[in-house]
Chain A
Amino acid sequence: MSKMKKVLALLLIVVLTVSLGACKSSKKEEPKADVTTEDGEPAGEEVSESDGEYEFTEPVTIKFANYAVLEAGYDKFWEDVKKGFEEKYPNIKIEYMTAEYGQMLTQVVTWAGGGEIVDLVLGEIPWIPTLADAGLAVPVTDAFSEDYLSQIYPSMLEATNVDGVPYGIPMYASPFVMFYNKDLFEQAGLDPNAPPTTVAEMMEVAPKLAALKTADGNPVYPFGMTTGSVSVSGSCLTSLIYGFGGSVLDADGNLDVDNDGFKQTFEFIKELDDKGYNPQVSKLKDLRNLFALGQLGMYYDTSWGFNGVNSINSTAKEFIASAAPLSGGAGKGESLIQAHTFMMANNGEAQVEATKLLIKYILTEKVLAPYLQNVAPGYPSMSALSEIPAITESPVLSGALSSLNTAKGIANIPAINDFNIELTSLAQAVTVDNKDIDTAINDFKTSAGSILGN
């Protein structure tokens, strides 16, 4: 009996050991049917003739990394895109590969590490340098004609540049703009149709807003600037620095903070904090929350940030208005452009051609306009769509339309996200940590320089 047990145990051990050895990827090669496409030529106004020349001799599946498919409110649009596109191009299928927004970039890299390189990624501009550096995104000039790329706003396309070459096709974009609450402006005796345009004007109206209370007795913050320890807060701070005429990085991605605009920005942030005008160490979601509840007079956000406000208070459309970012110091109110962008890999000619068709399909008025009107307010990247009612009649977009002309990008470097977090640390140092501005900036130079390898 004991011998039997021993044999059984040994047998189990052998099975376990063998199964451990078998722990390796077993990638199945999908059989490719030899089918000729019925509709290889893309039809419709949105695809130029030269782009329709590729003939798909085999079915193609586009692997599309898209976090938005998991997000309520966005999911239906992307399912409709899949349905509409597959109907139009029967030999091309879309396979969504999803992960939660915060994990998407890491997930794309992990998939690639496992040998699965996705054809298309929908993401933010700061993702581009990482993907480009890893070889998971290719210059869009390799795939799209000059004629097609010229239809995109130059500032939006340039924002995707790595070493002077664009690596993304923006779907829609937004600079950081200023949202303000018209009802609170009225309550404070201010003109709801004349928001402040400069930092000085804003500081003049701020005490009137700070004196207000909500119906349930909560205080009203006049101005919200995000300084929470997340990358997007750093982008928003960069935008404010641009508004003061300052800079953070030069064109080569080196630290470039020895300028008045940079220092003035943090003096302004400190002043806001000293006067209790800005909710401390807040993330954008905190500001959206306060704005939705009528506790925030003005704040900086991207246009699609309105969705966060609207999800908390569905009547927000009635009191929200947008304005161009403030100008301070010697600045002219410039802003940092943000975009939801397509980044594509090169997985062979057929994959690239199919991916191109998909991008072009999405960037048509028929597909994109309802999205911008009903799903996520943003400025379309295709200049031909700038006058559509979804933009000109939107309370979220119309007021800040002019900011598109002055918005610009930032040098795309692989460590941009960490650099942005370090920028928030600087804002926290001069506010909640009460550090002297010059000392805090010097500390920032050491840590940020190390991140950048300067």
Chain B
Amino acid sequence: MQIKSGSLDSRKTKGGPLIKKTTKDKLFALALLTPSIIVTVMFILVPVFDSVIKSFQNYKIKNIIAKIPGEWNNFDNYVKLFSNNKLLPSIQLTLIFVGGVVLSQFILGMAMALVLNSNLKGARFIRSVMMAPWIVPTIISGLIWMWIYQPQYGLLKYVVNIFSFGNVSDFAMLNNPATALLGIAIAALWKQIPLTALLLVSGLANVPEETMEAATVDGANAVDRFFHITIPYMKSVIKVTASMAIIENFKQFPLIWTMTGGGPNNSTSTLAILSYREAFVSNNLGSGAAVTTVWMLLMIVVVVLFNFVFKDTNVD
């Protein structure tokens, strides 16, 4: 019987290694991945699973302290959230906030990126200075914007008063349920646009100049070039940037809690605020976990939809 070289038997007979090279590589890769797997399981999957279980329980602080398991209450936490008219408005507000901020962030960030990518004088200086809002801690950003919106002596009130020729003298962005979310969205944009612009600028560097020149020679105008060359070449960068923005704004808590605390009249009570209030203000951890579970499911749906839309990131 002919023995094939490289087979286990052949190695045995030749005194070679007992395990195939490919298996060895796989084992080595697995070993390298082990810490990440442990961290993911321990600090992400187990807590998520635990939170989902607790969302079906009557679970309070005393359960943690006394180390007694929560009492199973089936869907009571969910029924309560739906029956008190809090969950659906919060879902709606979260989607409006995320959708509005992410879209505006992309449009304004792209505009800024295009300006910075041009041969504008001082673009390099602007690029370094514009990152300032991004490095300011979120709570500080919230406080700065609260001062700007301050209804008695805030800058915005003064500006509106001037531009309305004194007709609007009591403009209070955060006190009006119709404008409070917009006020927070502006603060969120101020903080997040710099990073978006920076990422998009780096994406613009990937757009080949020769393709742009060829398109120009072929008679394509600036708009055509932007939509048919620039955007397709930047698709992968846009996908990453948009994903980051969606996640950042879905979980936006400190800015909203600092600026409005969910008010006025719950007009800024997003899922993050509702979850915090249920778990840590009402001290009902089970109910807070129920909000978090809905929040997580909603996020999964949004991310799946997003990935579906951006399925093909390759440029033909």
Contact = CB atoms under 8 A, between A and B. Distances in A.
Contacts of A181: none
A279 B281 contact: no
A109 B66 CA distance: 12
Interface string B241-265: 0000000000000000000111111
Nearest to B260: A229
Given A421-B277, A446-B85, A451-B282, A281 B264 contact: yes
Contacts of B277: 418, 421
A290 B152 contact: yes
Given A20-B38, A450-B83, A13 B265 contact: no
A451 B34 CA distance: 44
Nearest to A451: B282
Given A432-B176, A433-B264, A134 B61 contact: yes
Contacts of B80: 450
B295 to A, nearest CB: 18
Interface string A421-433: 1001100110011
A10 B30 CA distance: 10
A281 B149 CA distance: 13
A17 B84 contact: no
Contact of B34 (A13, A218, A230): A13
A106 interface: yes
A133 interface: yes
B28 A6 contact: yes
Contacts of A109: 61, 64-65
Interface in B140-160: 151-153
Interface in A102-121: 106, 109, 112-113, 117
A135 interface: yes
A218 B284 CA distance: 45
A414 B62 CA distance: 11
A406 interface: no
B261 A421 contact: yes
Given A20-B39, A106-B280, A112 B263 contact: no
Interface residues of A, number: 45
A415 B267 CA distance: 21
B115 interface: no
Contacts of A133: 60-62, 283
Contact of B65 (A17, A136, A295, A414): A136
B219 interface: no
A134 B262 CA distance: 27
B204 interface: no
A418 B281 contact: yes
Interface in B29-79: 31-32, 34-35, 38-39, 42, 60-62, 64-66
Interface in A127-141: 130, 133-136
B177 interface: yes
Nearest to A131: B61
Contact of A418 (B60, B61, B282): B282
Given A17-B34, A17-B35, A229-B263, A447 B64 contact: no
A13 B66 contact: no
Given A414-B283, A415-B283, A135 B62 contact: yes
B104 interface: no
A451 B81 CA distance: 10
A9 interface: yes
7 contacts: A20-B38, A228-B261, A229-B260, A414-B60, A417-B282, A425-B265, A432-B177
Interface of A: 6, 9-10, 13, 16-17, 20, 106, 109, 112-113, 117, 130, 133-136, 218, 228-231, 279-281, 290, 295, 414-415, 417-418, 421, 424-425, 428-429, 432-433, 435, 443, 446-447, 449-451
Given A20-B38, A135-B62, A281-B264, 19 more contacts: A130-B61, A130-B283, A133-B283, A134-B61, A134-B65, A229-B262, A231-B281, A280-B172, A281-B175, A414-B61, A415-B284, A418-B281, A418-B282, A421-B261, A425-B265, A432-B175, A432-B177, A447-B84, A451-B282
